[in-house]
Amino acid sequence: MKPDLDSFTSSILYAYLRSLRPPRDAFTPLYIPLLNVPEADIQLRPEFIKLFHHANISASHLITLDDLPPPSRLEDQLPPANTQWILVDHNSLQGSLGSIYSSRVHGVIDHHVEEHAVPEDTTSEPRVLENSGSCSSLVVRTFQSTWDAVSSSSLSSGAAHAQSSDSVADDSVVAQGWDAQVAKLALGSILEDTSNLTSESKTMSVDREMVRYLEAKIQASAKDARIWNRDKFYKEITRAKKDIEELPLDGILRKDYKQWTENETKLGMSTVVKPLDFIAKKAATERPDADKGEAFSAAIQNFVSDRDLSIYAIMSTSKTAEGQFQRQLFLQATAAAIAAADRFTQNAGAELGLEDLTVEGIADEKTAAQKAGKKLYQRVWQQKAIERSRKQVAPMIREAMK
Ligand SMILES: [Mn+2]
């Protein structure tokens, strides 16, 4: 299972709420939220960034797989006996972490089908496996009383402070502001997972109850209550999901990327939901010193050489100004793969309806022979056969590489 927004917020909520009041016999009083992805993957999901922003968390604050020792040195540098693991939004520790630490799992909160990988007795940590729209609902419910106790104690100390001093440093407002941030973090996932509580099949009563509870936390903060609008918040998070404009170009190309090996050479293919001129412009903004064509070529060249690709394609889907769905195709081949690229053009050009396209900032080098001095061959087309997706185009290129 790929970690999603719910996985991230469940982990952060668990660590935050539990660290506020760890149990007396806790393995350690500090619970660390480890996001089970490489750091770069966070950037690929604009909805994470958007939601984290509401909680005053920036992506660089988050602890990811990149913060652990490399897999080969994990066991030495982070001995299992020094760790205790709690799983949220999944209930069986997989991959290289699982092979080393699965016997150290002592706690779980999850809403997936039980895999019986977590011991029945989790001592001081919860063992909650239950159906819900969002795992974040279960995490919040589990630590509701802790959270309330901590909020009200900071409220009363804030009030006492205000009475005893003329310069009112209002702790209660600060505490409420934090509460509202944490509440929004949870709400982002619960609303996302239940389509703002409208999905009959996914929404469970715990999700409804926790949304009520969390909205009350926001209402308790004067500053947040004034501007809080659940529907607007939900729309903002879901809209961010489709919005790749803020991503760096490398992220845009990696977001939906596939790779194949054919005849010992590699084909890479990025699918991008923007027209090619968006990509060219993006490259130019990231390299303001370079001239336009060079910025794009350099960016593509980095991407290609990082992956040692012989052929690289970008399939772009977008809408024209008139609202018509359109496809564009960019293809680049190294010197050794020019013959294959030419074969693809000849064999598939008619079927895909490939028409030469001019995109400012992307050079279309039509005849490789003329550019013999250059190592690269690149083409840009409008793909008129719009019903042909990656499912058809990738096999055609692979065929030409055989
Ligand atoms: Mn989930």
**pLDDT tens sequence across 230-241:** 999 999 998 887
* More confident site: 175 or 143: 143
Phi and psi torsions of 190, nearest 5°: -65, -45
Ligand 1 centre from 133 Cα, in Å? 7
The DSSP secondary-structure symbol of 362 reads: B
Ligand 1 centre from 364 Cα, in Å? 45
pLDDT at residue 225 above 70?
yes
CA–CA–CA angle 339, 284, 44 (5° rounding): 85
Ligand 1 centre from 135 Cα, in Å? 5
Ligand 1 centre from 134 Cα, in Å? 5
Q: What is the pLDDT of residue 369?
A: 44
Ligand 1 centre from 310 Cα, in Å? 38
pTM of structure: 0.70
Between strands 377-383 and 325-333, the pairing is: antiparallel
Distance, in Å, from the CA atom of 121 to the CA atom of 126, rounded to the nearest integer, reads 9
Ligand 1 centre from 345 Cα, in Å? 44
Q: What is the mean pLDDT of residues 86-105?
A: 95
Query: CA Rg, the chain, in Å?
Result: 26
Ligand 1 centre from 63 Cα, in Å? 19
Ligand 1 centre from 95 Cα, in Å? 19
Q: What is the pLDDT of residue 381?
A: 96
Q: What is the pLDDT of residue 159?
A: 44
Spatial contact of 131 and 201, defined as CB atoms under 8 Å apart: no
Instruction: Tell me how long the chain is.
Output: 402
Sequence ranges of the domains in the chain: 5-239, 249-401
Q: What is the pLDDT of residue 200?
A: 94
Ligand 1 centre from 34 Cα, in Å? 16
Sign of the Cα torsion 75, 86, 57, 190 reads positive
Ligand 1 centre from 67 Cα, in Å? 23
Least confident range from 3-17, 162-176, 219-233: namely 162-176
What's the fold here for domain 249-401? Diaminopimelate Epimerase; Chain A, domain 1 (3.10.310)
Q: What is the mean pLDDT of residues 159-179?
A: 51
Between strands 127-129 and 105-110, the pairing is: parallel
Pick the closest to residue 117 from 129, 132, 131 (CA basis): 129
Please report, rounded to a whole number, the percentage of residues in the chain having pLDDT higher than 70.
Answer: 90
Instruction: pLDDT band for 88, please (50, 70, 90 cuts).
Output: very high
* Domain 5-239: top CATH class: alpha beta
Q: What is the pLDDT of residue 231?
A: 98
Ligand 1 centre from 349 Cα, in Å? 43
Ligand 1 centre from 182 Cα, in Å? 18
Ligand 1 centre from 89 Cα, in Å? 5
* Tens digit of each residue's pLDDT (9 = 90 or more) over 334-388: 888 999 999 999 999 999 999 999 998 887 775 544 555 565 688 999 999 998 9
Pick the closest to residue 260 from 318, 304, 311, 197 (CA basis): 311
Q: What is the mean pLDDT of residues 29-43?
A: 90
Q: What is the pLDDT of residue 174?
A: 52
Distance, in Å, from the CA atom of 226 to the CA atom of 154, rounded to the nearest integer, reads 22
Please report, rounded to a whole number, the percentage of residues in the chain having pLDDT higher than 90.
Answer: 67
Q: Taking ligand 1, which is a single-atom ion, which protein residues have CB atoms under 5 Å away? A: 6, 89, 135
pLDDT at residue 166 above 70?
no
Q: What is the pLDDT of residue 350?
A: 95
Spatial contact of 6 and 193, defined as CB atoms under 8 Å apart: yes
Instruction: pLDDT band for 165, please (50, 70, 90 cuts).
Output: very low
* Tens digit of each residue's pLDDT (9 = 90 or more) over 277-332: 999 999 999 998 887 678 998 899 999 999 999 999 999 998 888 888 899 999 99
Ligand 1 centre from 168 Cα, in Å? 42
Instruction: Render the burial of 108-147: b for 16+ CB within 10 Å, e for the rest.
Output: bbbbeeeeeebeeebeebbbbbeebbbbbbbbbbbbeebb
The chain-wide mean pLDDT, for the chain, equals 89
Ligand 1 centre from 88 Cα, in Å? 8
Ligand 1 centre from 265 Cα, in Å? 38
Token pair recorded at residue 154: 């900071």
pLDDT at residue 39 above 60?
yes
Write the CA distances from 205 to 24, 126, 216, 353, integer angstroms.
31, 20, 17, 52
Ligand 1 centre from 119 Cα, in Å? 21
Instruction: pLDDT band for 153, please (50, 70, 90 cuts).
Output: low
Alpha helices in 243-275, H assignment, sequence order: 249-255
Ligand 1 centre from 122 Cα, in Å? 21
Ligand 1 centre from 74 Cα, in Å? 27
Ligand 1 centre from 112 Cα, in Å? 8
